[in-house]
Structure 1
Amino acid sequence: MTKFPHEQFAKEYLQELLSPLGEVETSKDVTAEVREIDIWFQPTSVDAGEYIESLGLLGKMAATPAIIEPFRNPVTAEGIFSCVVKLLNSRAELERRANREDRRLDERQLPMLWILTPTASELLLNSFGFLTPEESQGWGRGVYFLSEVWRVGLIAIHQLPRTPETIWLRMLGRGRVQQGAIAELTALPLDDSLRANALQLLYNLQANLQANTPTNTAGDDEDQELVMAIVPLFQQHLQDAEQKGIEQGIEQGIEQGIEQGIEQGQRLILESFLQVRFGDLDPLTLTFLRPISALPTAEFTMLLVQLSMLAIAQTDRQPVLNLLAASVLNNRFSASAQSEQELPVTLIPNLLGLSPENLSLLLSELPQLSLEDLMARLSERST
């Protein structure tokens, strides 16, 4: 699990948005003490006008080769110097390559450095000589440049206007700026592929934030607020999956199509969430994917929230397995006449003591078993 969830989110997020337009490398090394570039972008697509337009300000940035350096915290003077060194080293590397190939380096091949910072003080901007571009150039508020020869731009995300053209960059802001962009993201059309991909990366970010929050501290207050802003998106994503399932069911003319669509959507969310949070899934965890995916939407959402709140070591799967097993058993027996009867304390340990094959078989038979039948089956297998 990454120790820097916001940085990882920024890299994956920008890679997802820019990959349709060209080649994207993250954590690219450059020579001279091996400095790592966060995002290296090389445009290759020549017929992506509509997609570029959908990215707004980010699409305009993608018109040329670019080094993109997103900062979670406000960039400092030292941070700007470090970024400029990466730019100069990259330029020198391109020039050496051109010399080896005995060709002239086209200026259009030179990268533009973009520094993305959540905030930037007027003192910092003035000390470097950052200037606002002419209004006719169409960059808008919050975008600054050094003199043209430097090929350096800085975006102060907190100054960006709250418009559709800036939403994809405001997602990399902090506090209310980022939360506002998340709210706007959820309002986009359900069939918007950028919306779906960004939501998935937000779920990954939430899982990483939870995994990096110690159990004995309150953690970063701003991170906690961000987690709480992301949690409701689980419910909306599930509703989207349910709606798609209903539409598929209508097209097929059968109720089974509706149920299958919902279950497939919930399974994709669950599997992706567990993999991001805990890494590769063991056979026992995989066995629970199918019955958990069949849970009612409200119960499924609550389970995801409970899983996201588990602050455990990546190698310790027992609390996760306990929670998955309890959800399946409670769903089966709480709605029956046995709802007033508490589940035996040994039930879950005995269930999880089965092999993945036996557990899978027993879970498939669970809808037809009473609580007494289940206990008897487990007793038989333990003897």
Structure 2
Amino acid sequence: MSQFPHDEFAKNLFELLLTPFGAVEIERGVQPEAKAVDIYFQPSQPIPTEHNLGLLARCITQPAIFEPFRNPVGVGEIQMWIAKLFEILQELTRERKRLKQPDLAEVKPHLWILTPTLAAPTLTGFGSVNRVETWGQGVYLLPTHFQTGIIVIHQLPRTPETLWFRLMGKGTVQENAIGEVADLPANSPYKGNALDLFLSLKLELESKQSIEPEERNLAMRLSALYIEKIQEAQQIGRQEGRTEGERELVMVLLTEKLGNVSARLSEEIAMLSVDKLQELAKALLCFSSIADLTQWLTNNR
């Protein structure tokens, strides 16, 4: 079990969301000291709109470093991560010179520091600005050449645009985001895997010898979600059982009416919903040949 379950959850979540669109490095080392950045992302393709990554998609139009903090980040920690960013930039510059490649701004990584809350004096002390009109509430950009942004998660509006960042918040903010993921459509690209990450986080929290009240509440919320998932799976199982029964009945009736049905037609029948199987059971009473079945399947695809 991980000693830092929330940190592990954040890394796994970024890996889940970003891997389809580029290279994701977890714990990337930085020279000259033994340092590592949590998540380093190198994009390789545009993100289709149907993936609905919202604010996260805007943060990864160029290489990006993400440093999520479970508790409010301190001044010294921000300074340290900016220093790490500059070390990485120096490494990349040396590498491009060695390969005789142009030094383009768009290939330089942008640092994103994620924190649940942050005091206003800390934000102003770094010269950060919340450009609400372009980035929305809660996103603070440092002066241009710092290539750094601070996302204050608990200031983000509760919208689908900010969902994936709010999952890394605390307390009610995180619990609300978890509920929103659970309510996503079944065909959402990330829902199933995200729910699996929640289950892993639940197990990690329950394995801790000392658990904080906030974490206990989170574990209870995740337990409820886990129970809902089991019940949903059971319902799907019952539905699949019903479908299988309808399919077997239709195949028996077809065989008695028309003789053996080819494997290809059997596969098409296997793809039918319960409602369509019931329609076919009624329609086949009027069939006189396999051609009638073939035509019906063609008309009902």
The TM-score range, normalised by the shorter chain, is: 0.7 to 0.9
Residue number among 238, 252, 277 corresponding to 2:244 in the alignment: 252
Deviations 1:7-36 (A, max 9, x none): 011100111011111111111101121211
For 2:234, the equivalent position in structure 1 comes to: 242
Letter matched to residue 6 of structure 1: H
Quote the Cα distance in structure 2 between the aligned partners of 1:211 and 1:134: 41
Question: How far apart are residue 254 of structure 1 and its match?
Answer: 5.6
Deviations 1:200-238 (A, max 9, x none): 101101111111224xxxx21111111011111112111
* 1:195 and 2:187 aligned: no
* 1:6 and 2:6 aligned: yes
SS in 2 for 1:42: strand
For 1:152, the equivalent position in structure 2 comes to: 148
Question: How far apart are residue 160 of structure 1 and its match?
Answer: 0.3
* 1:61 and 2:59 aligned: yes
Letter matched to residue 237 of structure 2: G
Deviations 1:219-261 (A, max 9, x none): 21111111011111112111222233244334433699xxxxx
Residue number among 229, 233, 256 corresponding to 2:221 in the alignment: 229
Contact 1:74 1:117 in 2 (8 A): yes
Quote the Cα distance in structure 2 between the aligned partners of 1:86 and 1:241: 45
Deviations 1:176-211 (A, max 9, x none): 111111122221112323121111101101111111
For 2:138, the equivalent position in structure 1 comes to: 142
**Given the superposition, is the C-alpha separation of residues 50 and 250 from structure 1 closer, same or farther in structure 2, using an over 3 Å criterion?**
farther
Quote the Cα distance in structure 1 between the aligned partners of 2:131 and 2:146: 14
Over the residues paired in the alignment, what is the CA RMSD in angstroms? 1.7
Mapping for residues 1-383 of structure 1, pairs under 5 Å: 1-46=1-46, 48-52=47-51, 54-133=52-131, 135=133, 137=134, 139-214=135-210, 219-253=211-245
Letter matched to residue 217 of structure 2: E
Quote the Cα distance in structure 1 between the aligned partners of 2:235 and 2:247: 13
Deviations 1:259-317 (A, max 9, x none): xxxxxxxxxxxxxxxxxxxxxxxxxxxxxxxxxxxxxxxxxxxxxxxxxxxxxxxxxxx
Quote the Cα distance in structure 1 between the aligned partners of 2:242 and 2:58: 41
Contact 1:130 1:145 in 2 (8 A): yes
Quote the Cα distance in structure 1 between the aligned partners of 2:132 and 2:225: 39
TM-score (norm 1): 0.62
Quote the Cα distance in structure 1 between the aligned partners of 2:229 and 2:247: 21
Question: How far apart are residue 167 of structure 1 and its match?
Answer: 1.1
Quote the Cα distance in structure 2 between the aligned partners of 1:250 and 1:107: 58
Contact 1:249 1:255 in 2 (8 A): no
Question: How far apart are residue 105 of structure 1 and its match?
Answer: 2.0
Deviations 1:30-55 (A, max 9, x none): 11212110000011123x32245x01
Q: Which runs of 5+ in 1 are unaligned?
A: 257-383
For 1:303, the equivalent position in structure 2 comes to: none
Q: Which runs of 5+ in 2 are unaligned?
A: 249-301
Question: How far apart are residue 134 of structure 1 and its match?
Answer: 5.4
Quote the Cα distance in structure 2 between the aligned partners of 1:243 and 1:18: 32
For 1:261, the equivalent position in structure 2 comes to: none
Quote the Cα distance in structure 2 between the aligned partners of 1:164 and 1:99: 42
TM-score (norm 2): 0.78
Question: How far apart are residue 2 of structure 1 and its match?
Answer: 1.1
